[in-house]
């Protein structure tokens, strides 16, 4: 069980679209306005967990054309979020970024987030510790994952807010936002590269 908890920490804390967008919106909009987005991420993550447990994710992702459609939608939405973060602190923006995405924005991100499916699949299907009592094992795993997920995402949000509170010059704030967005796009590029490599 301790090995499982350590794996959860390492897999969730590493930069992915969820934590990067959380920090980005924290830096761009502050703590309270971004909490609704984090709530959406939390709900979305649990929906992905249930999809993995029920086998729905495996069925959906086994269809190559549907996997391609989901990947295209994922990339498009992640680019949109990256643009919102990048241009949140700039006057010249092709995307209106006065408010952070709300609960539905977070749910939608996790629903199409490749890292969410990869992490949840590896954690749910691996690290068995109660093979004779699967319902107990799944319940404990869900509790551990959520108990770790919440403080990690709140810490990323706080880190973004801490940058916001430094009251940096406008151009520095814009560079930070662009840097966070670029990191998010790098994760997207890795996910696409991995998906194309897996399909080849």
Q: How far apart are CA 49 and CA 169, in angstroms?
A: 41
Q: How far apart are CA 177 and CA 154, in angstroms?
A: 18
Query: Residue 98 has what pLDDT?
Result: 61
Q: What is the pLDDT of residues 149-185, one digit of tens each?
A: 999 999 999 988 887 777 777 777 778 778 877 877 7
In a domain, 130, yes or no: yes
pTM of the model: 0.75
In a domain, 96, yes or no: yes
Query: Residue 100 has what pLDDT?
Result: 67
In a domain, 199, yes or no: no
Q: What is the pLDDT of residues 12-70, one digit of tens each?
A: 877 778 888 888 888 778 888 889 999 999 999 999 999 988 888 777 767 778 777 77
Please count the other Cβ atoms lying within 10 Å of the Cβ belonging to residue 172.
12
Q: Token digits for 183?
A: 């990191």
In a domain, 12, yes or no: yes
Q: What is the span of the domain harbouring residue 13?
A: 2-192
In a domain, 200, yes or no: no
Q: Examine the pLDDT at 95 and tell me if it is beyond 50.
A: no
Which residues make Cβ contacts (< 8 Å) with residue 14, sequence separation at least 6? none
In a domain, 187, yes or no: yes
Number of domains in the chain: 1
């Amino acid at each position: 069980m301790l090995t499982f908890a350590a794996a959860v920490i390492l897999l969730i804390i590493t930069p992915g679209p969820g934590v990067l967008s959380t920090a980005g919106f924290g830096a761009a909009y502050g703590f309270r306005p971004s909490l609704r987005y984090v709530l959406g991420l939390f709900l979305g993550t649990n929906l992905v967990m249930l999809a993995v447990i029920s086998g729905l994710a495996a069925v959906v992702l086994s269809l190559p054309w549907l996997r391609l459609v989901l990947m295209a939608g994922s990339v498009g939405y992640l680019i949109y979020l990256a643009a919102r973060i990048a241009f949140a602190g700039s006057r010249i923006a092709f995307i209106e970024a006065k408010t952070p995405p709300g609960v539905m924005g977070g749910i939608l991100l996790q629903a199409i987030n490749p890292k969410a499916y990869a992490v949840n699949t590896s954690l749910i299907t691996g690290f068995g510790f109660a093979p004779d009592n699967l319902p107990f094992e799944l319940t404990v795993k869900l509790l551990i994952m959520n108990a770790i997920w919440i403080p990690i995402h709140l810490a990323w949000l706080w880190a973004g807010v801490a940058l916001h509170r430094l009251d940096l010059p406008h151009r520095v704030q814009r560079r930070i936002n662009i840097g966070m967005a670029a990191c998010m796009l790098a994760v997207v590029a890795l996910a696409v590269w991995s998906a194309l490599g897996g399909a080849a």
